[in-house]
């Protein structure tokens, strides 16, 4: 039995959920309601239509979005998602979370996100390239190294970033390395960027497990989503001696209580582009996967996976949010009562934007760093943010999410007050 996804993953409006989180933080940290009202809106949201000549001679028109939530702390930064269920409110929520993530990490960016409503799995490489180049042209006045810097997200990768970089550069008449991050190494990418999000998650898990006086080795781990974030996180935890008992992608979920051979799964996915058919594991559903008995559950696919409907059945002791928004606020409340330790998205998956920041800096300087240097600097930034969040959570008796969002929102609020509201 395979668990093909046919309906949208968005059961609730994600932007409303993101605002609900913001309101909770505003009350808890006693932030001026006027500022919360400012931060509850996106600075700019544009919608474009993207006509594309398809391989069969027909023309398809796709809808694309680019949203900037906030630029108080620097140019806006955020990925571009290609997925059939993209909505403008999903992009707005993701943009808001990017603002908090960059502020929590202390990097000089605001938040943005982009998306195109399409199914990249059903498109040829040529169709994807033409769609990406036309989308870039439609948003060319919005993006740029000092303005707004896209990166990969669900359904996009280094090739997508290469096309955006090339289209932007062709229009400017010279190479503009800082316009996107997540570029391939041959054209100004950073060493360590591909694995950066998962490496950041690993650093958070290490820090959390150390605080609990436990060890990763021997822990049972479940990872949902086997794309950029999930596959490398599964590999890193496997290398640390954890037993990864279940993994999944959009087509299948696999379970083996004795442990899945992660290097074999990685090779299988690279060759077949799906986990379906991988041997030595029982096929389950993605719904069953998140409820498995384990020490660490890492949702690394899409939003709203753990909701008020299934939160009370979650058995994990730690949830590491590799994905953005996988736990809804209603589920948060249930998990808080159960004593589950949640490593929230803005902390747990921030490694990607931190190394994106390094890539942007390296591109501006045209001077590139060694991988050990990238990874060490990433560790410094993520572990500092973890410690600040842990300390705030402990001293104020708050869940890690509220502590992380609180620290971040306060920093953005302070920047907004310092700059003043224009005019």
Please state, in angstroms and as integers, the Cα–Cα distance from residue 194 to each residue in 44, 201, 359, following that order.
Answer: 29, 13, 11
Q: Which is nearer to ligand NAD, 225 or 344 (CB)?
A: 225
Cβ distance 345 to 321 under 8 Å? yes
Question: Judged by CB under 6 A, does residue 249 bind ligand NAD?
Answer: yes
Q: What share of the chain is helix, strand, coil (3-state, %, to 5)?
A: 50, 15, 35
Q: Which is nearer to ligand NAD, 324 or 416 (CB)?
A: 324
By CB under 6 A, name the one of 322, 329, 363, 406 that touches ligand NAD.
Answer: 322
* CA–CA gap between residue 172 and residue 155 (Å, rounded): 27
Question: Judged by CB under 6 A, does residue 9 bind ligand NAD?
Answer: yes
Question: Judged by CB under 6 A, does residue 10 bind ligand NAD?
Answer: no
Question: Judged by CB under 6 A, does residue 404 bind ligand NAD?
Answer: no
Q: Which is nearer to ligand NAD, 20 or 85 (CB)?
A: 85
3-state secondary structure of 19: helix
Number of residues that bind ligand NAD (CB under 6 A): 26
Cβ distance 81 to 7 under 8 Å? no
Q: Residues 324, 115, 149, 67: is their CA dihedral positive or negative?
A: negative
Q: Which is nearer to ligand NAD, 75 or 152 (CB)?
A: 152
Q: Residues 205, 83, 306, 69: is their CA dihedral positive or negative?
A: positive
Residue with tokens 């609990």: 212
By CB under 6 A, name the one of 323, 347, 385, 404 that touches ligand NAD.
Answer: 323
Render 85-141 in DSSP notation, one character per residue: T--HHHHHHHHHHHHHHHHHHT-S-EEEEEEEES-GGGS-HHHHHHHHHHHHHHTTT
The nearest distance, CB 5 to ligand NAD, in angstroms, is: 4
Cβ distance 3 to 251 under 8 Å? yes
The nearest distance, CB 58 to ligand NAD, in angstroms, is: 26
The nearest distance, CB 105 to ligand NAD, in angstroms, is: 12
Question: Judged by CB under 6 A, does residue 352 bind ligand NAD?
Answer: yes
Please say if 113 is a catalytic residue.
Answer: yes
Q: How far is CA 258 from the centre of its chain?
A: 29
CB burial of 123-157 (b: ≥16 within 10 Å; e: otherwise) equals beeebbbbbbbbbbebbeebbebeebbbbbbbbbb
Window 52 to 71, contacts with ligand NAD (CB under 6 A)? none
Cβ distance 166 to 175 under 8 Å? no
By CB under 6 A, name the one of 76, 136, 197, 379 that touches ligand NAD.
Answer: 197
Please state, in angstroms and as integers, the Cα–Cα distance from residue 259 to each residue in 141, 214, 268, 336, following that order.
Answer: 49, 20, 16, 28
By CB under 6 A, name the one of 64, 114, 155, 192 that touches ligand NAD.
Answer: 155
Q: Which is nearer to ligand NAD, 19 or 81 (CB)?
A: 81
By CB under 6 A, name the one of 228, 243, 304, 362 that touches ligand NAD.
Answer: 228
* CA–CA gap between residue 70 and residue 95 (Å, rounded): 8
Q: Which range of residues in 66-74, 128-136, 243-251, 258-266 is near ligand NAD by CB under 6 A?
A: 243-251
Window 198 to 227, contacts with ligand NAD (CB under 6 A)? 224-227
Render 318-352 in DSSP notation, one character per residue: EEE--SSS-B-HHHHHHHHHHT-EEE-HHHHTTHH
The nearest distance, CB 53 to ligand NAD, in angstroms, is: 25
* CA–CA gap between residue 347 and residue 44 (Å, rounded): 25
Question: Judged by CB under 6 A, does residue 111 bind ligand NAD?
Answer: no
By CB under 6 A, name the one of 22, 107, 154, 162 that touches ligand NAD.
Answer: 154
By CB under 6 A, name the one of 76, 248, 304, 362 that touches ligand NAD.
Answer: 248
Question: Judged by CB under 6 A, does residue 87 bind ligand NAD?
Answer: no
The nearest distance, CB 64 to ligand NAD, in angstroms, is: 17
The binding track of 292-311 with respect to ligand NAD, each residue x by CB under 6 A or -, is --------xxx---------
The nearest distance, CB 295 to ligand NAD, in angstroms, is: 20
The nearest distance, CB 299 to ligand NAD, in angstroms, is: 8
Residue with tokens 């803005």: 346
Cβ distance 53 to 133 under 8 Å? no
Helix residue ranges, H only, 397-421: 400-419
**Per annotation, catalytic residue among 77, 113, 220, 410:** 113
The nearest distance, CB 274 to ligand NAD, in angstroms, is: 8
Residue whose C-beta lies closest to ligand NAD: 227
Q: Which residues are known to be catalytic?
A: 113
User: What does the binding site for ligand NAD look like in residue numbers (CB under 6 A)?
Assistant: 5, 9, 152-155, 197, 224-230, 248-250, 286, 300-302, 322-324, 349, 352
């Amino acid at each position: 039995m395979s668990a093909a996804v046919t309906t949208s993953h968005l059961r609730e409006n994600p932007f409303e959920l993101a605002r609900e989180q913001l309101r909770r933080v505003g009350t808890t940290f006693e932030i001026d309601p006027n500022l919360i009202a400012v931060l509850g809106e996106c600075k700019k949201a544009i919608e474009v239509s993207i006509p594309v000549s398809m391989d069969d001679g027909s023309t398809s028109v796709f809808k694309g979005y680019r949203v900037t939530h906030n630029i108080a702390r620097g140019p806006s930064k955020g990925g571009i998602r290609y997925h059939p269920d993209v909505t403008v409110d999903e992009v707005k929520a993701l943009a808001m979370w990017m603002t908090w993530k960059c502020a929590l990490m202390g990097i000089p960016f605001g938040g943005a996100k982009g998306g195109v409503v399409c199914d990249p799995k059903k498109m040829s490489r040529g169709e994807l390239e033409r769609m990406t180049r036309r989308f870039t042209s439609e948003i060319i006045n919005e993006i740029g190294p000092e303005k707004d810097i896209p990166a990969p997200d669900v359904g996009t990768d280094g090739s997508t970033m290469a096309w955006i970089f090339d289209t932007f550069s062709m229009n400017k008449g010279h190479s503009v390395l800082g316009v996107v991050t997540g570029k391939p190494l041959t054209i100004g990418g950073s060493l360590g960027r591909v694995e950066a999000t998962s490496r950041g998650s690993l650093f958070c898990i290490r820090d959390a497990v150390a605080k609990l006086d436990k060890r990763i080795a021997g822990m049972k781990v479940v990872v949902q989503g086997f794309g950029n974030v999930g596959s490398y996180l599964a590999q890193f935890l496997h290398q640390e001696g954890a037993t990864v008992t279940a993994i999944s992608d959009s087509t299948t979920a696999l379970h083996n209580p004795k442990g899945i051979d992660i290097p074999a799964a990685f090779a299988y996915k690279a060759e077949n582009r799906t986990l379906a058919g991988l041997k030595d594991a029982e096929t389950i559903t993605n719904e069953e996967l998140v409820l498995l008995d384990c020490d660490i559950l890492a949702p690394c696919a899409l939003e709203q996976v753990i909701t008020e409907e299934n939160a009370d059945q979650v058995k994990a002791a730690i949830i590491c949010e590799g994905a953005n928004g996988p736990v809804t606020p209603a589920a948060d409340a249930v998990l808080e009562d159960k004593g589950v330790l949640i490593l929230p998205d803005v902390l747990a998956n921030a490694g990607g934007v931190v190394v994106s920041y390094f890539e942007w800096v390296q591109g501006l300087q045209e001077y590139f760093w060694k991988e050990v240097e990238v990874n060490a600097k990433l560790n410094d930034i993520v572990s500092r943010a973890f410690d600040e969040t842990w300390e705030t959570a402990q001293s104020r008796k708050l869940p890690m999410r509220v502590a992380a969002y609180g620290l971040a929102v306060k920093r953005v609020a302070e920047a907004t007050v310092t700059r003043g509201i224009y005019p």
